[in-house]
Amino acid sequence: MKNIFAILFTCLLLVIGKDSNCQNQIENQISIIEDKLYFHPAEGEMMLEDLISKTGKDEFEKYYGQVNFLFGLLAYKKAEQDNAIDYLEKALITFVNNENELYQGKAQLILGWLAERIGYWQQSKIHYYKVIDLVNKKNKREQGLAYLGLARCKNYLREAKGNDLQKGTGLLNSMEVKEYSLYAEFLNLLIKKSNNETPGKLLNIADEYEKLDLYTNAASVYKVLAQHSKKLREWNVAHNYLDKALGLAISDYPSTSLLPSLFQLKGLVYFYQGDYEDARLSLNKSLTLSEEYNQDFSKYYAYKALCRIDTLMGDYKSGFTHLVKANENHRSNDRKAEKQLARLMETSLNLITLEEENTRLKSQTKNILLMLLGAVVVLFFSFSIIGLKFKLKNKEKLEKAKEKKLALQSLLVGLGEKRSLLGYKENALELQKRMDTNSLFHDDFEECYPESINKIESAYPQLTRSDARYAVMFSLKLPDDVIAEIKNVNPDSIRKTKFRMRKKLSLETGCDLGHFFSSALKLRQKNYR
């Protein structure tokens, strides 16, 4: 019979271990996919689809919030603003209910980027401040990107920047990941006033991006260099940078392609050169690509530039047509931006309402628990009074029973500790027999392991002396019921003690305290029969 139970227990452990390994694999894969989506979204999308196809529906329900967050991040990278907001709202509802502050911060960061993309800088700042409040300093990426987002918004709004740029740059550089360090350096050069060294530094960044196969990022840097050269009226230099950018502007998602904006900038350079024909060709190419890639937001300035060329060339009819299209496009973009802002605001309000509701429910639950506790206290005192009356009637008999009970408890606490630690297993009856023969141990636990207790206290000052005593017991791999017998407490009290000590030591919930403290003390495990 014992063998059958052993086999069943082993099978149960194997099943639990298998489930735990599967869960860890999914969590690790989710983390890897998130990292990929930031700079290589096409690869991240393939990995996400592969993970979903290989994972059962029931298993994936545990990661509903994380999966929606990944899809929201992917939708942002594909410039699908409406889809991104929908996914992120679902994710945030899950994270608020689960009180998952880290992923709340991750999702709020993407919402900040979305608000920034449609030009609502004040709303973006609200999201970035939420990120900083939600995530801790260990999450350098989220905090660093949030601080840089604040720096961008304040720069556009002409507000005092403070030290946001410095904080964000420091956090991203401390990650020691080249992609994030380059991004921080690039943003610093954009926000700070340019000097003679700026073009050279930007060229270095573009070169580093190319080495990392981040060609779209390199094209963005060359675009900035072309804009800088245009301001200096260095037309040939500007064209050279734009040609480099056009050669690198390869995008996995057409809606995020830089080609429409690059041809638009090239047309403007031709325009300021006075080459109206080439300017018209480049601007029309920009409009064609904008239509093909569904980038309506980039058409406005192309239409305005064509209107100016038409006016200078004396073609007022064509100029009027382009002006009308520019205004229509501007109004259309404003309507889309207003709808997206309304969705962002609605999402934020829904989350605030949800947080308030959760707080209210917690408060109600707390009040109910307090009422129950009060009722328990009343019952306790009622029974205590009844018991006291009964004790008064049988005082002499009860006093003798109490003395006998205290004597036995003293024996189990003082004597049982030493004997259990020495490997003996004796129950209370056997101890009582030994007591009758006066064959007792008188050394307490402190005398048995003073060095170990002192070592624990020294290594972990946040633990009390009592905690240190428990730590030595855990390191000896004593079962909870044995420790409970030694300390004369309920086994549940031992589990609570473990929970409290893990919290003091900032350890994970499942951390094995026996292994943790035995490693610290390097004690040889004793076998207790």
Interval 129-168: pLDDT, tens: 999 999 987 789 999 999 999 999 999 999 987 899 999 9
pLDDT in tens, 6-34: 554 455 444 444 455 666 788 899 999 99
Average pLDDT of the chain?
Answer: 81
Lowest mean pLDDT among 96-110, 188-202, 260-274, 425-439: 425-439
Region 241-269 average pLDDT: 92
Buried b / exposed e over 230-239, threshold 16 CB at 10 Å, is: beeeebebbb
Give 355 or 285, the one with higher predicted confidence: 285
Lowest mean pLDDT among 300-314, 346-360, 483-497: 346-360
Q: Which helix (H) or strand (E) holds 167?
A: helix 164-174
What does the pLDDT read at residue 129?
A: 94
> Alpha carbon of 218 to those of 139, 204, 287, 466, 505: distances in Å?
27, 10, 23, 60, 45
The first and second tokens of residue 377, run together, are 């206290």
Region 114-139 average pLDDT: 90
Four-CA torsion 71, 77, 83, 89, nearest 10 degrees: 60
Spatial distance between the Cα atoms of 259 and 86, rounded to a whole number of angstroms: 28
pLDDT in tens, 401-454: 454 344 334 434 444 454 444 444 444 445 444 444 333 333 456 666 778 888
Q: Which pLDDT band, with edges at 50, 70 and 90, does 357 fall under?
A: low
Q: Which pLDDT band, with edges at 50, 70 and 90, does 365 fall under?
A: low
Region 349-369 average pLDDT: 68
Residue with tokens 């297993």: 425
In this predicted structure, the answer to whether residue 400 has a pLDDT above a threshold of 90 is: no
Region 284-295 average pLDDT: 92
Q: Which pLDDT band, with edges at 50, 70 and 90, does 84 fall under?
A: very high
What does the pLDDT read at residue 185?
A: 95
- Other beta carbons less than 10 A from residue 148's beta carbon: 24
Q: Which pLDDT band, with edges at 50, 70 and 90, does 119 fall under?
A: confident
Backbone angles phi, psi at 118, to 5 degrees: -95, 5
